[in-house]
Structure 1
Amino acid sequence: MAAPPSFTSAQPATEPVRHELFFLNYFRLVQALIYSALAFSPTQEWPRLSNIGLAHALAVAYLVFAALTLILTRRVASRSKLIVSATLVVDIITAVLAVTAIHDARIGISMMLVVSLSAGALILPLRLSLFFAALATLGMLGHSALELPKTDMDRELLESGLFGLAYFASTLLCYVLNRQLRATEALAEQRSIDLANLSQVNELIIRRMKTGVLLVDDANRIHQINESAWMLLGNPSADQRDLGQLAPELSRRLYHWITSGKLNETATQLADGVPEVVPRFARLAPNDDSHVLIFLDDTSLLSRRAEELTLSSLGRLSASIAHEIRNPLAAIRYSAQLLAESSDLGLTDQRMVEIINNHCIRLNDIIENILQLSRRERSRPETLDLGRWAHSFAEEYRQGNDLGVDSLRVIAGEQPVAAVADPQQLQQVLWNLVQNALRYGRLPGEPARVMVVARHGEHGVPIIEVIDRGPGIAPKVAAQIFEPFYTTHEYGTGLGLYLARQMSEANQGSLEYVRVAGGGSCFRLMLTPAHRSKGMDDGD
C-alpha cells in the first residue's frame, strides 16, 4: 500500500488490420481451391473444360497468388486500398478466364465474383468500387459477346447483364453499410477514449481529495486507498493490506456498522502523529455486501473550515459595529479637543481630557483594524526592488512619525532584490511590523533599534526582514501571535499581525517569526521572485 500509482493519459491503440481485408483474402483462397477442384476434377463429365491447359495453369497460378496475399495480409495492411485494388483486378481477370476455360461453371464463378466485389467495397471509396463493378460487368459481357456462338449469345448476354446489375447493387449496398459501420466504430472508439479519460480524471480527483477514501472487501482487506487515507493511516508499507492489523479501531467500527447499522461519529486517531478522523461508511452498491467504502474526515480540516466561517462572520459583524461606533466616537473626540482648549480646566480635568483623547485614539485604531479585516481588498502586484523600496518606506515613516531617540535603518546590498507584491499592502505590512518593533522591541531604559533588511534567501527568494534588539518573544507566545484577537498588551487589538500575515498570503508570500540569537526578534517576509526578463523599475 505504497503511494498511489502515477496517472498516464490514455493512448490511442495501434490501428488493427481491417477484418474485411482478412475476409477478402481468405475467400480468395477458397475461390482458388474451388477453381483447382474444377480444373483437376477426376471425372471429366462435369464440368467439361473448354481449354484444359488454360484451366490447369489458371488454377495453379491463382492458388499461389491467393496464398501469397493471405500470408502478406499484415505487412500490406498500411496500403490496403492499393493492394485491394490490384488484387480485385486479378480477381476479375481470373474470373473471366475461368468462365472461358470452365464454361459449365460460369454461373457459380460469376456469383463468387459478387462476394469479392462486395468485400472490396467495404474497404475502397465509392467511385473505385463502382469502377471495379463496371470492369467485372464489361468482362462478363465481353466474354459472352466474343467467345460464344450466336445461338447462345442472347441468353448469356442477359445473364451477364443481370450479374452486372448484381455487381453494382451489392457494391452500393456494402459501401453504405461500410459507412455506417465506420461511423459506429468511430463513435465507439471516441466513447471508449472519453470513458478512459473520465475514469482517470475520477481516479485523480479521488486521489487528491482531502478526505481519505478506502475500498475494503468482506475479508477486511484494503483494495484501493487514496493519498489522504494513506497519510491518515500513518503511511503504511505496501504489504500491509489487512485493515484489522493496520487500524484495529477502524476495523472494529466497520464491523459494528455492518452488524448494527449504527455509526460511531466520535473522532479517533488511527496512528501516532496523525490528525484525528471521523470515519464514515457506505456500500459500494445497494445490493453489494462484498465491498465497503470508508471515508476518513480529517477533524483538523473541519476545524479550520469552521474557524474560517467564524472569522468571516465575525469580520462582517465587527465591520457593521465599527461603522456604528465611528460617528459617535468622532463626536466624543472632537468635544474632548474643544474642552482641552478651555482655560478654566484644572489639572485634574486636563488629565481626564487627556485620558479621553488617548482612549479615543486607541478605539479609532481598533476600528481601522477591524475595517481592514472586513475589506480584504484584492492585491495589485507590481515588480519592486525591495532595497530601493525599503529606503523609500523608511524615509516616509520617519517623516510621519517622531522617532525621538529610537532608530530605524535599512540594510540592502548593491544587487537589486526583485519581488512581485502590491506596494500599498506591503506598506501596511511593514508599517505594522516596524510599529510593533519600535513599541515592544526595546530593552528597559534603552532606545529601540530597528533594522529593515532586504536580501535574497535560498534559491533566490526575495526576503524583507524587520529586526529589533529587544527581549524577544517567549516560545508559547510566539506560537499564537498570528492568531486574530490575541494580544499581550492591555491596549492592543490582536489584529495587527493577523492582518499582516493575511496581506502577505494575498501577495503569495509568507510571514513568520524568527527568534534572533543573543536577544531580539525577526519578522521575515518571503515574497514571490520577479522574472529576470522584466525591468526592475516597473513598480517604482
Structure 2
Amino acid sequence: MSSTVQSAYPNARPAPEAARHELLFLNCFRLAQALVYVGLALSPSTLGWPKLADVGLARGVGVLFLLFALGMLSLTRRSTPYIRWTVSAALVVDIIAAVLAIITMHDARIGIAMMLAVNLAAGALILPLRLSCFFASLATLGVIGHSVIEVQHGQAGMDRELLESSLFGLAYFAITMLCYVLSRQIRASEALAEQRGVDLANLAQVNELIIRRMKTGVLLVDDANRVHQMNESAWMLLGNPTADQRDLGRVAPELSRRLYHWMTSGKLDESATQLADGVPEVVPRFSRLAPNDDSHVLIFLDDTSLVSRRAEELTLSSLGRLSASIAHEIRNPLAAIRYSAQLLAESEDLPPTDQRMVEIINNHCVRLNEIIENILQLSRRERSRPETLDLGTWANLFVDEYRQGNDLGEDSLRVIQASTPVAAVADPQQLQQVVWNLVQNALRYGRMPGEPARVMVVARHGEHGVPILEVIDRGPGIAPKVAAQIFEPFYTTHEYGTGLGLYLARQMSEANQASLEYVRVAGGGSCFRLVLTPARMGKATGDAAATG
C-alpha cells in the first residue's frame, strides 16, 4: 500500500509543518554536539586527552559553534517556512566545524566523524535526495581531505586513518540513502493516514446525517437508563424533550418499562404505544450495541403512521392497476351503448317517454365515462414537464377556454390577478387539469340555494413572493369534519361523485412541487389554494401558457 502512495507522489517532500519535529531534533542534537566540542576543547591539560594541535583554534571553534547552535535552536519556529535553505546552510556549518574539530582534536576524530553522520541523517529526512548526497559528498571530502594532508606530511599511521576516513565517507552515503528512503515511506504513510482520517471523518458525517434524517427514531441508552444520543425523529416521537432531559424513565416511562422488560426477560412487546401527547404511535425495538456489551442499548422507534401510509400507497397502487384493467374492459361496451342510444334518439317516431329513457341512458353514459377517465388517471402517473408561467396570463387564457367549452348560464367565472407578473414553474397541462377540476367543483357545489354560483380564479403573490393560484366560491363552505377528508381517495359526499377528483388534483400538484390545500373563507365560501414553485419571468411565458 505504501508503494502505491509513493508512486502517486514520487517527488513528495515533507511540508514545513510536517518537518518541524525533524528540524527541532537536528537543532537540539547540534547544541549537544557543540557542548561536546567545547568540553573537549576546555578539558584540563593534565588529563592528556585529547591532545590539542592548536588550543586557541579548538576553543574558538567550540565556542563559535555553540553560539551558532543556540541561535539555530532559538530560530526553529521562524525558520520552518524556509526549512530547506535553513537546513542546507546549517549542514555546511556543521561539516566545516566537524572538519576543524578533527584537525584541532585529532585524538577524538572518530567520535566527531560519527556525530557528523547524525547531522547528515537528520538532513536527509528533510532535504531532497540530490542535496542530501551533495552534503554527504562534502563531508566525505572533508574527512578524507584531512587524512590525505596528514599522509603528505609524512606522519606515521596516517595510512590507517585514510582507510578509516574512506569508510566514514561510505557510511555517510549509506546513512543518507537509508534515511531518505525511510523519509519517503514515513511521508507516504502520513499522507495515507491523513487521507484515511479525512475519509473516516466524512463517512462519520454522512452516517450521522443519515441517522439524523431517518424516519425511524434511534436512541442510544446506557446501563444507567440515560439517553446519550437521539436523532430528530426520536426527538419528535418523544414529544420534543429539552436538552437537559436525559433520564429515559422521565422522558418516556412506558419506553423505559419495555426496555427493562426486554433486558430482564428477553421478550419484546411489539404492541404500538404513544410515548407523548400529540405524537404518532410507535413500535419500539431494542438491540445491543455490541454482542458482549451490556452497557449500551440501541432503541428503534418505528412510526406506525409511516407503515400505514406505505400500506395505503401499496393498496392504492394495486387498486389503481386493477381499476384500470376493469375500466378498459368497460369502456368498449359503454361506447357501444352510448352510440346505440344516440342512434335511437334520432328516430322520428320515438314516443316522449322513450326519449326520456334515451336521455337518461346518455347522461349515465357520460357519468360512467367520467368515472373511467378518473380511474385511468389514477393508474397512470405521467411525469410533469414544468415550464415558466405567468399565472395571471395563464388564468385569463384558462377562463376564456373554459367559457368557450362550457355553458355557464347565470353563473359567473372571473379572474383576479396581481398588478405585477406572478411567475411560477409548473406543467401547463397538469395545472389545467387541477384548476379545471377545482372550478368544476366550485360551479357545481359552491352556490347558495336558489342563487347562481360566483367563482373567482385569483393569481397573486404570497409571503416572500411565493406564487399562489386560488379558486374561490361564495357557497356554503365545507364542514370542518368533511374538509379533513376531502383529499382522501374515494371519499365523496355526493351520490354521483367518485371521490377521486380532489385526490388526483393533489397528486398532480405534488408532482409539480406544489401544495394544494382547502381554506375556509370568512363570511362563507370555500378557497382551494395552490402554492407553486416560484420562478423568474421569462419572455416566452405567455406563449408557453397558451400552448399549455
Which interval holds the TM-score relative to the shorter structure?
over 0.9
* Pairwise CA distance, 1:69: 2.0
Looking at structure 2, the residues matched to 181 and 456 of structure 1 have their Cα atoms a distance apart, in angstroms, of 63
How many residues are matched?
528
* Pairwise CA distance, 1:481: 0.9
Match of 2:235 in 1: 230
Contact 1:100 1:147 in 2 (8 A): no
Contact 1:387 1:454 in 2 (8 A): yes
Looking at structure 2, the residues matched to 464 and 77 of structure 1 have their Cα atoms a distance apart, in angstroms, of 66
Q: Note if 1:302 corresponds to 2:307.
A: yes
Contact 1:33 1:63 in 2 (8 A): yes
* Pairwise CA distance, 1:162: 1.8
* Pairwise CA distance, 1:73: 2.0
Looking at structure 2, the residues matched to 230 and 384 of structure 1 have their Cα atoms a distance apart, in angstroms, of 41
Match of 2:68 in 1: 65
Q: Note if 1:96 corresponds to 2:84.
A: no
Contact 2:50 2:108 in 1 (8 A): yes
Contact 1:467 1:522 in 2 (8 A): yes
Looking at structure 1, the residues matched to 275 and 418 of structure 2 have their Cα atoms a distance apart, in angstroms, of 51
Q: Note if 1:24 corresponds to 2:26.
A: yes
* Pairwise CA distance, 1:108: 1.4
Show CA shifts across 1:38-90 (max 9, x none): 21222442211111111111112222222332233233222222111111111
* Pairwise CA distance, 1:146: 2.7
Contact 1:17 1:74 in 2 (8 A): no
* Pairwise CA distance, 1:147: 4.4
Closer, same or farther: CA 410–532 of 1 in aligned 2, 3 Å: closer
Match of 2:512 in 1: 507
Match of 2:141 in 1: 138
Deviating more after overlay: 39-48 vs 93-102: 39-48
Closer, same or farther: CA 198–515 of 1 in aligned 2, 3 Å: same
Closer, same or farther: CA 534–295 of 1 in aligned 2, 3 Å: farther
* Pairwise CA distance, 1:278: 0.9
Looking at structure 1, the residues matched to 265 and 354 of structure 2 have their Cα atoms a distance apart, in angstroms, of 76
Matched residue type, 2:429:
Q
Closer, same or farther: CA 533–110 of 1 in aligned 2, 3 Å: farther
Matches within 5 A, 1:89-128: 89-128=92-131
Contact 2:477 2:525 in 1 (8 A): yes
Closer, same or farther: CA 249–413 of 1 in aligned 2, 3 Å: closer
Show CA shifts across 1:98-123 (max 9, x none): 01000111111111111110111011
SS in 2 for 1:397: helix
Matches within 5 A, 1:485-504: 485-504=490-509
Match of 1:248 in 2: 253
Contact 1:383 1:538 in 2 (8 A): no
* Pairwise CA distance, 1:394: 0.9
1:261 maps to which of 229, 249, 266: 266
Looking at structure 2, the residues matched to 496 and 537 of structure 1 have their Cα atoms a distance apart, in angstroms, of 28
Deviating more after overlay: 303-312 vs 130-139: 303-312
Matched residue type, 1:226:
N
Match of 2:296 in 1: 291
Looking at structure 1, the residues matched to 333 and 406 of structure 2 have their Cα atoms a distance apart, in angstroms, of 27
Matched residue type, 1:209:
M
Match of 2:8 in 1: none
Closer, same or farther: CA 243–330 of 1 in aligned 2, 3 Å: same
Match of 1:7 in 2: none
Looking at structure 2, the residues matched to 535 and 386 of structure 1 have their Cα atoms a distance apart, in angstroms, of 13
Percent sequence identity over matched residues?
80
Looking at structure 2, the residues matched to 405 and 381 of structure 1 have their Cα atoms a distance apart, in angstroms, of 35
Closer, same or farther: CA 373–71 of 1 in aligned 2, 3 Å: same
Matches within 5 A, 1:14-413: 15=17, 18-42=20-44, 43-148=46-151, 149-151=153-155, 152-413=157-418
Contact 1:383 1:537 in 2 (8 A): no
SS in 2 for 1:444: coil
Looking at structure 2, the residues matched to 64 and 53 of structure 1 have their Cα atoms a distance apart, in angstroms, of 17
Show CA shifts across 1:298-319 (max 9, x none): 1122221221121112111111
Looking at structure 1, the residues matched to 122 and 185 of structure 2 have their Cα atoms a distance apart, in angstroms, of 15
Q: What 5-or-longer segments of structure 2 have no aligned partner?
A: 1-14
SS in 2 for 1:150: coil
Over the aligned positions, Cα root-mean-square deviation in angstroms equals 1.8
Matched residue type, 1:471:
P
1:465 maps to which of 470, 474, 483: 470
SS in 2 for 1:405: coil
Matched residue type, 1:539:
A
* Pairwise CA distance, 1:534: 6.6
* Pairwise CA distance, 1:344: 4.2
SS in 1 for 2:530: strand
Looking at structure 1, the residues matched to 16 and 449 of structure 2 have their Cα atoms a distance apart, in angstroms, of 80
Looking at structure 2, the residues matched to 407 and 171 of structure 1 have their Cα atoms a distance apart, in angstroms, of 97
Looking at structure 2, the residues matched to 415 and 238 of structure 1 have their Cα atoms a distance apart, in angstroms, of 47
